[in-house]
Structure 1
Amino acid sequence: MIRKIDSKTMGKSNLGWLNSTFHFSFAEYFNPTNINFGVLRVINDDLIIPHEGFDTHPHQDMEIVSYVIAGELTHADSMGNKRTLKRGQVQYMSAGTGVFHSEHNLSDETLRLLQIWIFPDKKGYQPNYGDYLFDWDLRKNNWLNIVSGKNGDAPIKINQDVNIYVLELEKDMEEKFEVEKGRQAYLVQIEGEANINEEHLNARDAMEIKEETISIKAIETSHYLVIEMRKDGI
């Protein structure tokens, strides 16, 4: 089963300094039929203007992954971590029993990132932070596994049975992604334009995939993120 989600139907917010597209209910956007997809609770596609950002605020019992698409993201938290990440780089924070953090764009260019929240497999973990500076070329015409569960092979491991993959597919190239029995996946067309199993996707569109193999053909050079998990995981 596949289901395309047009970005025009997603939640929207514009606070001036922050322009967001919400894949799931968040902040002022509430849709009781669109709270989560399995253990995936949040995907926010955020644009943050220069020298603005999220001031220090708390989180608890959530696995948070940030994927930088353009610009620079500067993170600071109550565990003493401070880091600036650029395009294609990833940070992870397990909020666990509680943590405070801030996320800012300290550069002179607009920052675009995907903010991803995933329910942990249990509550009460010790808070943790990590990041990874992936080489961009590793995702060119190749699925790069950037995040996995604790028993997986990705450099970043989270407290949930989830895999996150990214791909840059060159114009006219084709690539498949198999979602096995008992599994499901959520795909984000971050950039570009493509046909996926006879569905046409533009930038910021998405797709739910359950127990099915998809075939992607890039109409122009395109950029994808896929979150794969057990089917209907909560």
Structure 2
Amino acid sequence: MIERRPFDTLGGANHGWLDAKHHFSFAGYHDPVRMGWGALRVWNDDTIAPRSGFPPHPHADMEIITYVREGAISHRDNLGNEGRTVAGDVQVMSAGTGITHAEYNLEPDTTRIFQIWIVPDRRGGAPTWGARPFPSGERAGRFVPLASGFAGDADALPLRANARVLGATLRAGEHADYPLAAGRYAYLVSARGAIELNGMRLDARDGAAISDEPSLHVAALEDAELVLVDVPA
């Protein structure tokens, strides 16, 4: 089963400095049939104006993944972590027992990110933060784990959940496949470029909620940049 969620049907709010689109219920947007997808709780498509951002605020017991699509995001938290994550790269914050952080676009241009929240397998644990680059060439023509709780994904940023966040870049006409284990849920968004997923067309920034599909076959109709989340039901 694949449910297409067109970008223009997403909830959201425009705060001036932040234009946020929500694939699932979040903040002031509430849709009782879009409360999450398995362990995936949040997928926000955020456009952040230059020299602005999220001031310090707390989180606990959530895996928070930031995928930078354009520009850069600068992180600072109460543990002393600081970092700047640029387009195509990823940061992961395991909130654990609690962390206070700020995320700013300190750049002269607009920053666009996907912010993805996954419910951890267990509550608690010391909070952590990390980031790493994922050059687009490494993801060319295939799905590569960017953040993962799977033991075999040694090059991915760690997650405290039995989940994966994967990325792929495809040129028009190329395709990539991903096996989805029984009982798993997946959610796919093309950050740019139209694609076909198991024969269903998805335009850029549409969401696809996937279950009971043993294999995902993605064909690029245009040059495309994909983000896929694989979570327990």
TM-score range, shorter chain: over 0.9
CA–CA distance in structure 1, aligned partners of residues 150 and 97 of structure 2: 19
Match of 1:64 in 2: 64
- Give matches, 1:116-135, under 5 Å: 116-135=116-135
Match of 1:215 in 2: 217
Matched position secondary structure for 1:160 = coil
After the TM superposition, which parts of structure 1 deviate over 6 Å for at least 4 consecutive aligned residues?
none
CA–CA distance in structure 2, aligned partners of residues 136 and 206 of structure 1: 21
Per-residue CA deviation, residues 80-114 of structure 1 (Å, 9 max, x unaligned), is: 01101111111111111111000000001100001
Match of 2:84 in 1: 84
Match of 1:163 in 2: 164
Which moves more between the two structures, 1-10 or 165-174?
1-10
Offset of residue 184 of structure 1: 1.8
Offset of residue 172 of structure 1: 1.1
CA–CA distance in structure 1, aligned partners of residues 35 and 171 of structure 2: 33
- Counterpart of 1:99, as a letter, is I
Which moves more between the two structures, 178-187 or 38-47?
178-187
Match of 2:231 in 1: 229
**8 Å CA contact 1:179, 1:209 repeated in 2:** no
CA–CA distance in structure 2, aligned partners of residues 72 and 46 of structure 1: 12
**8 Å CA contact 2:192, 2:204 repeated in 1:** yes
- Counterpart of 2:39, as a letter, is V
CA–CA distance in structure 2, aligned partners of residues 132 and 31 of structure 1: 34
- Give matches, 1:195-214, under 5 Å: 195-212=196-213, 213-214=215-216
Matched position secondary structure for 1:220 = coil
CA–CA distance in structure 1, aligned partners of residues 88 and 178 of structure 2: 20
CA–CA distance in structure 1, aligned partners of residues 212 and 150 of structure 2: 23
CA–CA distance in structure 2, aligned partners of residues 56 and 195 of structure 1: 39
Per-residue CA deviation, residues 12-60 of structure 1 (Å, 9 max, x unaligned), is: 2100100011010011110111111011000101000100000011111
Between the aligned residues of both structures, percent identity stands at 38
CA–CA distance in structure 1, aligned partners of residues 192 and 108 of structure 2: 22
CA–CA distance in structure 1, aligned partners of residues 72 and 181 of structure 2: 35
Per-residue CA deviation, residues 202-231 of structure 1 (Å, 9 max, x unaligned), is: 11101112231222221110111110122x
Per-residue CA deviation, residues 164-196 of structure 1 (Å, 9 max, x unaligned), is: 110111011122222121222111111111122
CA–CA distance in structure 1, aligned partners of residues 196 and 160 of structure 2: 33
CA RMSD of aligned residues (A): 1.1
CA–CA distance in structure 2, aligned partners of residues 130 and 210 of structure 1: 30
Q: When the two structures are superposed, what TM-score results if normalisation uses the length of structure 1?
A: 0.95
- Counterpart of 2:223, as a letter, is T
**8 Å CA contact 2:37, 2:185 repeated in 1:** no
Q: How many residues align?
A: 231
Q: When the two structures are superposed, what TM-score results if normalisation uses the length of structure 2?
A: 0.96
Matched position secondary structure for 2:37 = coil
CA–CA distance in structure 2, aligned partners of residues 227 and 174 of structure 1: 18
**8 Å CA contact 1:150, 1:159 repeated in 2:** no
Which moves more between the two structures, 139-148 or 208-217?
208-217
**8 Å CA contact 1:73, 1:104 repeated in 2:** yes
CA–CA distance in structure 2, aligned partners of residues 134 and 173 of structure 1: 20
CA–CA distance in structure 1, aligned partners of residues 225 and 47 of structure 2: 17
CA–CA distance in structure 2, aligned partners of residues 47 and 225 of structure 1: 17
Offset of residue 62 of structure 1: 0.7
Offset of residue 150 of structure 1: 5.3
